[in-house]
Amino acid sequence: MKTPYRQMRSICLATLVAAVPFVFEHCARNPVTGKRQVALISEEQEIAMGKEADPAIIAQYGLYENQALQAFINEKGKQMAAISHRPGLDYQFRIVDSDILNAFAVPGGYVYFTRGIMAAFNNEAEFAGVLGHEIGHITARHSVSQQSKQVLGQIGLIGGMILSPTIAQMGQEASQGLGLLFLKFGRDAERESDRLGVEYSTKIGYDASEMAGFFNTLQRQSQASGAEELPNFMSTHPNPGERNTTVAQLAKEWKTKAPQASYKVGRNEYLRRIDGIVYGEDPRGGYMESGVFYHPVMKFQLPAPQGWRYANSPQAVQWAEPNGQAMMMLTLGQGTSPQQAAQAMVQQYQLQVVESREVQVAGLPALAVVADQQQQQQGAAIRTLSYLIQYNGAVYHLLGASSAAGFNNFAALFQNQMQGFRPLTNAAKLNKQPEKVHVKTAASAMTLQAALQQQRVPQNRLEEMAILNGMKLTDRLDAGMMYKVVQ
């Protein structure tokens, strides 16, 4: 697709007379701007892309099990979509079960918020502004434009940082749809979506100036976490300070364009909605603690490579070497025995077996397999080490991969980690409960810090709670004012 697209783009830009009919066949009017733009993807194809991506995204993250919140985002999303520039699309709105602070949209009308970002909002107006921003990406066809410019590419296993596209195939349960999740828009597209977020949220009666303040909360959260945990929402967006000023001005202008008696903020209503929302990693889906991954439902534990980046989803637990030179993954194997699972693995990943031997791990029957995967494109082969361990009625597939040339640098580490797989029997680890956001009410006027200390929030988490509340520790709470704590 690259060569034909580049040819077409040059034709569009040069407006060659002989190609005018071809250009207008592939240049469509943008629903927001009204201007013509290169669009190799029709609306029918765009809708089909979203339908294909949606189940992959849900499979990767899972839906957050809170029907009231799911109904809330769907209600507000449908209301906003109805006054958008593309009201005819069949929009779908989901809250996915991830603690990462993110919201994203894919072509065709699919919008996703993580429970992490839902916990970070402090009123309905903030939520509505970001919802309008994501709908804006769809109405302005930003995803389609990026697709036409061929910037999607392969995603890798952890946000596209693994060394080879072929390794990404090993996470193929979700790879088809998740490329859209990691699509980065340019700053002009982000500014346009900010403008649309202000417009759409104002039109359904919310105070869009609240959206501006939320950018500062995201920036503080990004700085506190080292920015690694906030993949897309901050990475290509304009500077939060700039956005705050711009969005505040846009909100003021739209209030004159769509005058109402009042504009809703909805602080208390929103806080009541998220009271009890899971905060951070949910132990039921597995969790990392002191360099060990524990899964209390499946009742196993596994040491993790020290210093490697980590991602957990319903399909797989993944670790990536910081420089992208190697990765490890744990999934469920296919079959009822290590041998059956090995056969399925070889077929699924198109591997060439180098050696295979029966082993035991913690007294459990297992099969160790070294195999190669040749890249379809030019490049060095990938070498993998797999341990297929039979435990508790299932076969667990532990896979380590690197380039064949660098495999010896990681082989011992792969083997040591995989041989550390153990049944989990520690009651404290098995019974670990998730942290949740709890909404409290200030009994009297006091600072946020004083209120948090009354709730026995540890000293080292005071700033974290201040960010969660979108406030500074020195800000004052009025008597009867609600605020969030994590317990």
Region 464-471: mean pLDDT is 96
In this structure, are residues 140 and 31 in contact, taking their beta carbons and an 8 Å threshold? yes
Q: Is residue 12 scored above 50 in pLDDT?
A: no
pTM value surpassing 0.85: no
Q: Is residue 172 scored above 60 in pLDDT?
A: no
Average model confidence (pLDDT) across the chain: 82
* Model confidence band, residue 39 (pLDDT cutoffs 50, 70, 90): low
Q: Which CATH architecture fits 283-430?
A: 3-Layer(aba) Sandwich (3.40)
Burial of 408 (0-12, 13-18, 19+ CB in 10 A): exposed
Give the DSSP letter string of 356-386: EEEEEETTEEEEEEEEEE--SSSSPPEEEEE
CA dihedral 353, 359, 361, 363 (to 10 degrees): 150
Per-residue pLDDT tens digits for 212-252? 888 888 778 877 765 443 333 444 455 555 677 888 888 88
Distance from C-alpha of 435 to C-alpha of 283, rounded to nearest angstrom: 9
In this structure, are residues 271 and 482 in contact, taking their beta carbons and an 8 Å threshold? yes
1-5, 67-71, 320-324: range with lowest mean pLDDT: 1-5
- Among positive and negative, which fits the CA dihedral 36, 187, 466, 245? negative
> At a CB cut-off of 8 Å and minimum separation 6, what does 286 contact?
293, 294, 295, 296, 297, 298, 312, 317
Give phi and psi for 429, each to the nearest 5: -75, -35
The 10 Å Cβ neighbour count of residue 115 is: 27
Region 20-37: mean pLDDT is 55
Distance from C-alpha of 84 to C-alpha of 201, rounded to nearest angstrom: 10
8-state DSSP, 286? -
- Closest-CA residue to 73 (of 32, 106, 137, 121): 121
Specify the higher pLDDT residue, 35 or 428.
428
Q: Is residue 73 scored above 50 in pLDDT?
A: yes
In this structure, are residues 94 and 106 in contact, taking their beta carbons and an 8 Å threshold? no
Domain residue spans in the chain?
25-274, 283-430, 442-486
* Model confidence band, residue 312 (pLDDT cutoffs 50, 70, 90): confident
Distance from C-alpha of 249 to C-alpha of 242, rounded to nearest angstrom: 11
Chain mean position to CA 406 = 30
